[in-house]
Structure 1
Amino acid sequence: MSSFVPRRVLGKFMHVTDQPLKRDGGKSLVYFMGAGFCPFCAAERWAIVKALERFGKWEGLVEDKSAGHDEKYLNVPTFSLARAKYSSSHVEFAGKETADRNFEPLQELGDSDFEILDMYNPDQMIPFLLVDGQYMQVGAGFSPEMIQNMSHEQVRAELDKPDSAIGKAMRAEIDNITALVCKSIGGKGQACGSESIKTLVEKL
């Protein structure tokens, strides 16, 4: 019987198991489930996209916004991952967007989704992010309130400002995801060489 005890690690991430989840030739799997209307999903996608850019390449990313009504935070700029493709030597990305920003159904969950959700997120809460089957987070690593009603250009500008509170919050979540991926791939990526990421990995 395993003596593993789940614990909170970086940000809101929990270390939930010591059993890696590998697919596609042994690559580390990053799995995301969200919905277009969801403001917390909208915020977290920025961190997912920017972190995984450090390990590979996105194609087909579409700029989008969260719902304009009936949510706590409105019109949060984001990306739709519904038709996005991701390629990397070390990381596989799999994601599902269950609805669009207008609350209309978008992508159906399949057997491979339920295999993950039944084990890690049976209530299907969103946003849900799982790194390598070991580290999971339900919710966003920073508040969507910080970027609601902003344009994508404004968000990018904040990300580039060293002293921006918005930028700092977003970069912290990007770095958390980066560190979790680095841990899961044995530090192989170039992004894993920075001292700030190494410091985070040491906490895992």
Structure 2
Amino acid sequence: MLVVVVVLAYILVSSGGGSPLIGKRVSSSDMLSLEQIANNNTLANKVGAGIVVPGPGSNLPKKVTGMPLTAYGKPEVFYVGGDYCPYCAVTRWGLILALMRFGNFTSLEYMQSSPTDYAADTPTFSFTNASYSSTIVHFDGLELTNRSGGGIPGANLTAVEQLAYNRYAGSGGIPFIDFGNTSVQSGASVSPVLIHRYTWSEIIRNISVPGSEMAQGIIGNADVFTAAICASNSTINATASVCKQPYVKKILG
């Protein structure tokens, strides 16, 4: 029986069965580590934009002109992605860290990208059952598809979000992030290859080191997203202490 169990375990792993953590809530220790990293201003200022280089043709937040996007009386940031998508997987790391600088997540779950796509099984998190609270920004994170590429019931954009997505996402690609209709990002700015062969714990440990390639990518991405959130609304820019950090001012120019 032991041989059968071992063989079965090998088959599951080698065929992309995924981590047993998939779909489980992120542990309190990992959440604490992420929050500490997010709010480590020394780390953020050392990394700055890192290897995430703004410029023409880059998949980074680009300024747009549209009606301000709000929800529940607050400026809104919304994300559209899918659990299967490796580019969404790597993008979520930076977006989560950026949003932790303005509020708090609960019920984030571990996730891996598709076992059959590029950069298979990239470790990440899912917004499907997560909640976000903040006094100054509203966040709506939509995963339209599960890890197998199937639709997720109830994952629908609001009418206003759909209009923005149709206008700015081009062919409807993912990942897509709208920062209050002041800037949008369509596509990833960091390659999932950066993290796809590592565990969540290894990634968390590596992004804590400012000189590491992972920190340069993930923290750099978080810093660029933070600057985009600060620039999305004058109230956020005036009241969020993170918006006064040197790296934010440098990124915004």
- Determine if the TM-score, normalized by the shorter chain, exceeds 0.5: yes
* Range that drifts further, 33-42 or 165-174: 165-174
Letter in 2 for 1:47: G
Equivalent in the alignment of 2:10 = none
> How far is 1:172 from its partner?
1.1
Question: Could you tell me how far apart the structure 1 residues matched to 2:108 and 2:227 are?
Answer: 23
Equivalent in the alignment of 1:106 = 152
Equivalent in the alignment of 1:94 = 140
Three-state SS of the structure 1 residue aligned to 2:206 is helix
Three-state SS of the structure 1 residue aligned to 2:181 is coil
* Residues 28-63 of structure 1, C-alpha deviations (whole Å, 9 max, x = no match): 211100001000000000011000000000011001
* 1:165 partnered with 2:213: yes
Question: Could you tell me how far apart the structure 1 residues matched to 2:56 and 2:132 are?
Answer: 28
> How far is 1:109 from its partner?
2.3
Letter in 2 for 1:197: V
Greater C-alpha radius of gyration: 2
Letter in 2 for 1:74: A
Question: Could you tell me how far apart the structure 2 residues matched to 1:74 and 1:82 are?
Answer: 20
Unaligned runs of 5+ in 2: 1-54
Letter in 1 for 2:177: L
> How far is 1:104 from its partner?
2.0
Question: Could you tell me how far apart the structure 2 residues matched to 1:176 and 1:10 are?
Answer: 13
* Range that drifts further, 120-129 or 32-41: 120-129
Question: Structure 1 residues 45, 124: closer, same or farther in 2, change over 3 A?
Answer: same
- Contact conserved, 1:99 with 1:105, CA < 8 A, in 2? yes
- Contact conserved, 1:90 with 1:185, CA < 8 A, in 2? no
Higher helix content, 1 or 2: 2
Identity %: 27
Count of residues paired in the alignment: 194
Q: TM-score normalized by structure 2?
A: 0.72
Question: Could you tell me how far apart the structure 2 residues matched to 1:8 and 1:19 are?
Answer: 24
Unaligned runs of 5+ in 1: 1-6
> How far is 1:20 from its partner?
2.4
Q: TM-score normalized by structure 1?
A: 0.88
